A and B are shown apart, each in its own frame.
Chain A
Amino acid sequence: DQQVKQNSPSLSVQEGRISILNCDYTNSMFDYFLWYKKYPAEGPTFLISISSIKDKNEDGRFTVFLNKSAKHLSLHIVPSQPGDSAVYFCAASGASGAGSYQLTFGKGTKLSVIP
């Protein structure tokens, strides 16, 4: 049972345009959400997070939106740059009861930004 889903395995975007990566979750107990960027054979790099009490968080070119009623979050990258090309993982925590804060990851979306 996949609790965090990234339904698009890949996405191609022209340089300078907006990239929108989507993520859906099924467990309403999740209360903290994060986006990570990953290059092959490297560890994930933290990008941005949002707690369940907010619906938007912005950091430079990156904005995360959370729609709790739809159990959906998205990452917007504006403007997209070739260096943004990587696999993006959505992750969530807080679903395993009090004191359990491990992350549950989606399977990732490979973003390709075309110059």
Chain B
Amino acid sequence: EAGVTQSPTHLIKTRGQQATLRCSPISGHTSVYWYQQALGLGLQFLLWYDEGEERNRGNFPPRFSGRQFPNYSSELNVNALELEDSALYLCASSLSGTSGMETQYFGPGTRLLVL
């Protein structure tokens, strides 16, 4: 069974540009989560999508946004890129996140570098 996939693996942008990161969940999973791991920091929760709707977002500015498509894949958009957005962006998926006990499985991540 295929795991969570993410694309691209690496992305280089300049300040002020927009970045789009993509994620395909494990088949049968309807919840998708996005996390950021910046250098020297732990994994920080960004966004959670379930059944096509944004369910919760972390403490990040509105220029971090995303969506979930009918096939449950997801896109993370980062507008007006800043240097500190350089990080590893991780996507995770789980069965419907309605019990709080579903395990999240992570993809390999997208390494974003903002110059």
Contact = CB atoms under 8 A, between A and B. Distances in A.
Contacts of A94: 100
Given A43-B90, A102-B56, A93 B106 contact: no
Interface in A84-115: 89, 91, 93-94, 96, 99-108
A43 B106 contact: yes
Interface string B34-71: 01000001111100100000011010000000000000
Contacts of B97: 101
A96 B57 CA distance: 11
B101 A32 contact: yes
A49 interface: yes
Contacts of A89: 42-43
Given A99-B55, A100-B55, A106-B42, A44 B100 contact: no
A104 B45 contact: yes
Interface residues of B, number: 31
B102 interface: yes
Judged by DSSP, the binding face of B is strand
**Interface bin, chain A:** 20 to 34
A34 B43 CA distance: 14
Given A96-B56, A108-B42, A45 B100 contact: no
Contacts of A102: 33, 45, 48, 56, 58
Contacts of A103: 33, 35, 43, 45, 92, 104
Contacts of A104: 45
A51 B106 contact: no
Contacts of A45: 106
Interface of B: 4, 6, 31, 33, 35, 41-45, 48, 55-56, 58, 88, 90, 92, 94, 97-98, 100-109, 111
